[in-house]
């Protein structure tokens, strides 16, 4: 397949929320107490919510900036591409990158919305609903052919969470972002079946995918506090390996044959060994641990329930059929530091050609699996011939994608402890 003829849907991108996002969706009685974006004297912008301050972590919005500017310093909106927070500019960036569709995870509330948990239940739920309404109606609604809608959970209340899942499913949302390790955030683990049962019921009843994103709990890889950042970045997918094991051996997997879970930003190269190990664990130990998958092996159960994704994963693409070709999607990770934007098509094409991936398998990984798993069809709004890399880039001619140095601060070094502190802020985890 020619690179220009591929269709790309990314199942993992991110939003830097605009300052006016609550204006049209939060009841007026709560507006004065809502999170707000504050511009600081040093030029940085930070979200403030009561006594919590959430910086714009630089690695979360480095698209279009030189690698020399990557870092963890707080930054202002004027130091990042407008496509990070402006939906019209985002679509232009998507066109320039040859990307048809995108599913966008939140930033300042944390991937699981823990920030919105307060001692006022009604206010907390109102914040989640306002965020979801903004995301669905304004962000995704502005370009329905371009965004897979995703909503935040009410993670502190499974009954309210179930209601929010059903509310959004009624308007076509089949994606929920969630923590990869709720027990690290002070909530019951995935193994507490009764606690989370209302949520599992709602997910299955509405064909909604539970997306567990790496790092969403604030629990990072265990390493020395003074370890260099390279250690943390290397170990990032390890969060999702633990979640995969927790969920694969959990009761919901056995109780709900139609439950769907996405391991977001977790990569794919590790999965064949993980499945081999799970099968051996079952063979050697199930008689005394009491695990029972009926006539299936854990690896077969995994392929019934789990979606995985990759950015540029040579090993994962090489072993794609050991992972499960129907269980793999592509991701761009815009505007994070792992993103290949705007050269994603070129790097992806290189990986696909190296491993002689046939056209039908390319289509599954680049867009068909995403459409099927998330019940999302962009072609009700856009013709296929207008959705290819070549067509989108032609539509973006003249759009500036040059690398630009935007930082106004001197770069400083950072270690694991610095990132861990920021991660706890983003997750709302103060422990």
Categorize the per-residue pLDDT at 59 as very low, low, confident or very high, splitting at 50, 70 and 90: low
DSSP states of 283-334: HHHHHHH----TT--HHHHHHHHEEEEESS-HHHHHTHHHH-GGGEEE---T
Of 205, 140, 178, 319, which Cα lies nearest the Cα of 261? 178
pLDDT tens by residue, 172-197 = 999 999 999 999 999 999 999 999 99
- CA dist list (Å): 134 to 11, 17, 52, 137, 378: 19, 10, 22, 5, 20
* pLDDT average, residue stretch 85-89: 97
DSSP H or E run through 94? helix 87-96
* Chain mean position to CA 59: 15
Of 198, 145, 196, 134, which Cα lies nearest the Cα of 168? 134
Domain of residue 295, residue span = 3-427
CATH of the domain at 82: 3.20.20.140
Distance CA 421, CA 414 (A): 11
Categorize the per-residue pLDDT at 75 as very low, low, confident or very high, splitting at 50, 70 and 90: confident
The H-assigned helical ranges of 134-225 are 158-169, 193-205
Distance CA 382, CA 2 (A): 21
* pLDDT average, residue stretch 276-284: 98
* Residues β-bridged to residue 38: 46
Pairing of strands 36-39, 45-49: antiparallel
- Report helix, strand or coil for 179: strand
Q: Residue 171: count other Cβ atoms within 10 Å of its Cβ.
A: 13
User: What is the 8-class DSSP label of residue 147?
Assistant: B
What integer pLDDT is reported at residue 222 of this predicted model?
67
Distance CA 19, CA 13 (A): 19
DSSP states of 40-81: -TTS-EEEEETTEEEE--GGGS-TTS-GGG-S-----GGGS-
What integer pLDDT is reported at residue 63 of this predicted model?
83
Does residue 416 or residue 65 have the better pLDDT?
A: 65
What integer pLDDT is reported at residue 73 of this predicted model?
62
Burial 12-31 (b: 16+ CB within 10 A, else e): bbbbbbbeebbeebbeeeee
What are the tokens at 55? 């910086």
Between 73-77, 263-267, 353-357, the lowest mean confidence (pLDDT) is in 73-77
Half-sphere exposure of 341 (CA within 13 A, CB side): 35
Distance CA 189, CA 181 (A): 7
Q: Reply yes or no on whether the pLDDT at 287 is more than 80.
A: yes
Q: Residue 392: count other Cβ atoms within 10 Å of its Cβ.
A: 24
Average pLDDT across the chain, whole number: 91
Between 73-77, 136-140, 273-277, 296-300, the lowest mean confidence (pLDDT) is in 73-77
Distance CA 420, CA 229 (A): 10
- CA dist list (Å): 306 to 154, 238, 323: 22, 16, 10
Query: In the chain, pLDDT over 90 holds for what percent of residues?
Result: 77
Pairing of strands 45-49, 52-55: antiparallel
What are the tokens at 12? 């993992």
Distance CA 214, CA 235 (A): 10
Number of folded domains that form the chain: 1
Half-sphere exposure of 313 (CA within 13 A, CB side): 25
Give the alpha-carbon dihedral of 155, 160, 166, 167, to 10 degrees.
-100
Distance CA 331, CA 8 (A): 9
Give, rounded to a whole angstrom, the gap between the first and last alpha carbons of the chain.
50
* pLDDT average, residue stretch 215-239: 77
What contacts 305, CB < 8 A, 6 or more positions away?
A: 247, 248, 253, 259, 260, 261
pTM greater than 0.85 (yes/no) = yes
């Amino acid at each position: 397949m020619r690179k220009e003829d591929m269709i790309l849907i990314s199942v993992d991108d991110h939003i830097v929320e605009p300052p006016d996002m609550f204006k049209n969706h939060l009841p007026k009685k709560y507006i004065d107490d809502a999170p707000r974006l504050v511009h600081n004297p040093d030029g940085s912008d930070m979200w403030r919510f009561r006594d919590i301050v959430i910086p714009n972590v630089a690695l979360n919005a480095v698209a279009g900036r030189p690698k020399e500017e990557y870092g963890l310093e707080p930054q202002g909106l004027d130091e990042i591409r407008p496509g990070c927070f402006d939906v019209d500019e985002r679509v232009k960036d998507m066109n320039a990158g040859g990307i048809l569709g995108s599913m966008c995870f939140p930033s300042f509330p944390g991937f699981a919305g823990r920030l919105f948990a307060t001692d006022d239940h009604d206010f907390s739920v109102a914040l989640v609903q306002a965020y979801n309404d903004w995301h669905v109606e304004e962000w995704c609604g502005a370009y329905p052919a371009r965004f897979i809608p995703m909503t935040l959970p009410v993670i502190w209340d499974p009954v309210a969470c179930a209601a929010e899942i059903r509310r959004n499913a009624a308007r076509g949302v089949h994606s929920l972002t969630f923590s990869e390790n709720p027990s690290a955030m002070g909530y019951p683990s995935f193994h507490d079946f009764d606690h989370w049962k209302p949520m599992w019921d709602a997910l299955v009843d509405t064909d909604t995918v539970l997306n567990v994103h790496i790092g969403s709990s604030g629990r990072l890889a265990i390493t020395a506090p003074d370890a260099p950042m390279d250690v943390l970045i290397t170990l990032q997918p390890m969060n999702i390996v633990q979640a995969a094991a927790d969920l694969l051996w959990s009761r919901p997997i056995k109780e709900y044959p139609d439950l769907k879970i996405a391991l977001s930003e977790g990569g794919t190269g590790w999965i064949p060994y993980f499945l081999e190990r799970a099968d051996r664990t079952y063979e050697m130990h199930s008689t005394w641990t009491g695990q029972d998958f009926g006539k299936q092996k854990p690896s077969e159960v995994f392929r019934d329930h789990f979606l995985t994704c990759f950015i540029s994963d040579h090993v994962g693409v090489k072993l794609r059929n050991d992972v499960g070709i129907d269980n793999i999607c592509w991701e761009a990770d815009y505007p994070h530091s792992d993103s290949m934007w705007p050269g994603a098509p070129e790097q992806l094409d290189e990986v696909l050609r190296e491993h002689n991936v046939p056209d039908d398998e390319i289509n599954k990984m680049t867009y068909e699996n995403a459409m099927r798993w998330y019940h999302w069809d962009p072609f009700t709004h856009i013709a296929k011939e207008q959705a290819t890399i070549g067509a989108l880039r032609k539509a973006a001619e003249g759009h500036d994608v040059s690398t630009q140095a935007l930082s106004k601060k001197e770069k400083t070094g950072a270690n694991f402890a610095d990132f861990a502190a920021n991660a706890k802020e983003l997750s709302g985890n103060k422990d």
